């Protein structure tokens, strides 16, 4: 029965009113922009699998800083492409490794920039897996040792926050311990707590040269049939001392973002990954969707689901949309 006094459309009658009753508020302060730093000089190359995103050698990072500043983005997460890889990924923790160089360069040029680092081995190992191999599988406890060295070397190079993305058991506790033992009590750990073995990472692996040379990552990243297991991963990371919990990918995992927000009091981050970005780009290029609109709608949906923080290749464009009042 239609009760004629109750009309939800009343609150949709003008832009002014619609903006007043928005339930989801977003700020550019909640955005983190992923950056790929590649060993060498004079490298400023668009990444074919991620149109609009670039490989920067350290000497070219000023371009990233200019762009970030122009859009009011002041938080980045760094990924490294080393010149050489080896079996154990020693480039990951080298004092003059590519991420370490990148951190120093950014801090020198833009001390206000908040620099987070991805802590993982897959970009540095010759086999492309996220840790030390034992036979054809990744050895959890041996990998913890190299992850700790890597996180510590990032902090020593000046990283503001470290983000382990390897999915080894116990890494948050071990990284927390080594940071604390070396005077980095105030460097937070943003844990990729619920990270799935996702097909949506395809374009990233092209961009970072980090595809596994054999097999896949299903023995360490999560099976996307599972949701309760993600809550268990989050719970363990809380106990181990994580400061921020991340769900990754984002769009196909909104249920987990929602549930993590409901269950845990830590800030929840979501990573809208390379495949999500590349799909929007490709569909827009084919004339099928409005890129700006779909970018805005997807980002808002991630915040609406409960994310406090969004890691996104669209950070600059979203910051503009927020400032213009189009979203948030
Ligand atoms: C490193 C890492 C990956 C991503 C972030 N950190 C790739 C992977 O796990 O294979 C993916 C990010 C993206 O797709 O945008 N382990």
Q: What is the pLDDT of residues 95-128, one digit of tens each?
A: 999 999 999 999 999 999 999 999 999 999 999 9
Residue 20 lies in a domain: no
Classified as helix, coil or strand, 275 is helix
Residue 14 lies in a domain: no
Mutate to test the pocket of ligand 1, among 82, 130, 210 (most ligand atoms within 8 A of CB): 210
Cis peptide before 249 (omega within 30 of 0): yes
The pairing of strands 44-47 and 50-56 is antiparallel
pLDDT bracket for residue 169 (50, 70, 90): very high
User: Which atom from ligand 1 is nearest to the alpha carbon of 201?
Assistant: 14
Ligand 1 site, residue 184, Cβ cutoff 6 A = no
- Which residue is closest in CA terms to ligand 1's atom 8? 201
Classified as helix, coil or strand, 86 is strand
pLDDT of residue 239: 98
Ligand 1 site, residue 121, Cβ cutoff 6 A = no
Q: What is the DSSP letter of 11?
A: G
pLDDT of residue 4: 96
pLDDT in tens, 188-215: 999 999 999 999 999 999 999 999 999 9
Residues sharing a CB contact under 8 Å with residue 64, sequence separation 6 or more, in sequence order: 35, 54, 56, 76
pLDDT of residue 134: 94
Look up tokens 């999560």; give the residue.
222
Q: How far apart are CA 25 and CA 300, in angstroms?
A: 9
217 appears as a binding residue in the annotation = yes
User: Which atom from ligand 1 is nearest to the alpha carbon of 123?
Assistant: 1
pLDDT of residue 272: 98
54 appears as a binding residue in the annotation = no
The pairing of strands 31-38 and 75-81 is parallel
Ligand 1 site, residue 165, Cβ cutoff 6 A = yes
Residue 41 lies in a domain: yes
- Percent of the chain at pLDDT > 90 equals 100
Q: How many domains are there within the chain? A: 1
pLDDT bracket for residue 275 (50, 70, 90): very high
pLDDT bracket for residue 151 (50, 70, 90): very high
Q: Are 233 and 196 spatial neighbours (Cβ–Cβ below 8 Å)?
A: no
Closest CA to 256 of 270, 267, 242, 273: 270
pLDDT of residue 225: 98
Residue 313 lies in a domain: yes
Token digits for 191? 């844990």
User: What distance in angstroms lies between residue 201's CA and the mean position of ligand 1's atoms?
Assistant: 6
Can you tell me the mean pLDDT for 44-52?
98
pLDDT bracket for residue 254 (50, 70, 90): very high
H or E segment to which residue 46 belongs:
strand 44-47
Q: What is the DSSP letter of 113?
A: S
Residue spans of alpha helices (H) in 14-125: 15-20, 61-71, 98-109
Token digits for 310? 């969004």
Phi-psi region at 107: left, alpha or beta (left = phi > 0; alpha = psi -120 to 50):
alpha
Token digits for 179? 């940071």
Q: What is the DSSP letter of 92?
A: G
pLDDT of residue 230: 98
pLDDT of residue 103: 98
- Which residue is closest in CA terms to ligand 1's atom 11? 201
Q: What is the CATH number of the domain that holds 78?
A: 3.20.20.70
pLDDT in tens, 281-314: 999 999 999 999 999 999 999 999 999 999 999 9
Contacts 24+ apart (CB under 8 A), 179-188: 179/151, 179/152, 179/155, 182/152, 182/155, 182/156, 184/152, 184/155, 187/155, 187/159, 187/160, 187/161, 187/162, 188/161, 188/162, 188/243, 188/244
Residues sharing a CB contact under 8 Å with residue 317, sequence separation 6 or more, in sequence order: 71, 292, 295
- Active site (annotated) includes residue 195: yes
Partners of residue 194 on adjacent β-strands: 247
Residue 19 lies in a domain: no
pLDDT bracket for residue 27 (50, 70, 90): very high
Please pick, among 142, 195, 281, 285, the residue that the annotation labels catalytic: 195
User: What distance in angstroms lies between residue 125's CA and the mean position of ligand 1's atoms?
Assistant: 14
205 appears as a binding residue in the annotation = yes
Can you tell me the mean pLDDT for 70-76?
98
Helix, strand, coil in percent for the chain, rounding step 5: 45, 20, 35
Token digits for 274? 């390379």
Residue 22 lies in a domain: no
pLDDT of residue 247: 98
120 appears as a binding residue in the annotation = yes
Residue 15 lies in a domain: no
pLDDT of residue 116: 99
pLDDT of residue 131: 96
Can you tell me the mean pLDDT for 170-191?
98
The whole-chain average pLDDT of the chain stands at 97
Please pick, among 248, 281, 285, 324, the residue that the annotation labels catalytic: 248
304 is in which domain, residue-wise?
A: 27-323
- DSSP string across 238-267: HHHT-SEEEEESSGGGHHHHHHHHHH--S-
Residues sharing a CB contact under 8 Å with residue 156, sequence separation 6 or more, in sequence order: 95, 100, 182
Q: Are 28 and 185 spatial neighbours (Cβ–Cβ below 8 Å)?
A: no
- Active site (annotated) includes residue 85: no
- Which residue is closest in CA terms to ligand 1's atom 2? 165
Residue 60 lies in a domain: yes
pTM of the model: 0.98
- Percent of the chain at pLDDT > 70 equals 100
Mutate to test the pocket of ligand 1, among 33, 200, 204 (most ligand atoms within 8 A of CB): 204
234 appears as a binding residue in the annotation = no
């Amino acid at each position: 029965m239609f009760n004629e006094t109750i009309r939800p459309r009343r609150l949709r009658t003008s832009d002014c009113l619609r903006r007043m009753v928005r339930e989801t508020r977003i700020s550019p302060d909640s955005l983190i922009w992923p950056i790929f730093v590649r060993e060498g000089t004079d490298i400023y190359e668009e990444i074919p699998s991620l149109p609009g995103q670039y490989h920067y050698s350290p000497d070219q990072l000023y371009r990233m800083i200019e762009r970030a500043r122009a859009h009011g983005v002041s938080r980045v997460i760094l990924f490294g492409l080393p010149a050489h890889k080896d079996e154990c990924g020693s480039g990951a923790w080298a004092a003059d490794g590519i991420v370490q160089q990148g951190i120093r360069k950014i801090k020198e040029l833009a001390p206000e920039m908040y620099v987070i680092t991805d802590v993982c081995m897959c970009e540095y190992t010759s086999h492309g897996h996220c840790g030390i191999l034992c036979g054809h599988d990744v050895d959890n406890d041996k990998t913890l040792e190299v992850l700790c060295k890597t996180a510590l070397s990032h902090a020593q190079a000046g990283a503001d926050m470290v983000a382990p993305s390897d999915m080894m058991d116990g890494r948050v506790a071990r990284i927390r311990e080594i940071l604390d033992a070396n005077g980095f009590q105030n460097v937070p750990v943003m844990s990729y707590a619920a990270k799935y073995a996702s097909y949506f990472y395809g374009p990233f692996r092209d961009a970072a040269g980090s595809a596994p040379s054999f097999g896949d990552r299903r023995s360490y990243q999560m099976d996307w049939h599972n949701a309760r297991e993600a809550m268990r991963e989050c719970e363990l990371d809380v106990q181990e001392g994580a400061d921020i919990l991340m769900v990754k990918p984002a769009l196909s995992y909104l249920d987990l973002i929602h549930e993590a927000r409901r269950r845990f009091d830590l800030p929840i981050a979501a990573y809208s990954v390379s495949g999500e970005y590349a799909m929007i780009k490709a569909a827009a290029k084919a004339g099928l969707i409005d890129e700006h609109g779909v970018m805005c709608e997807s980002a808002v949906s991630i915040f609406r689901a409960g994310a406090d923080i969004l890691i996104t290749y669209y950070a600059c464009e979203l910051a503009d949309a927020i400032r213009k009042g189009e979203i948030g």
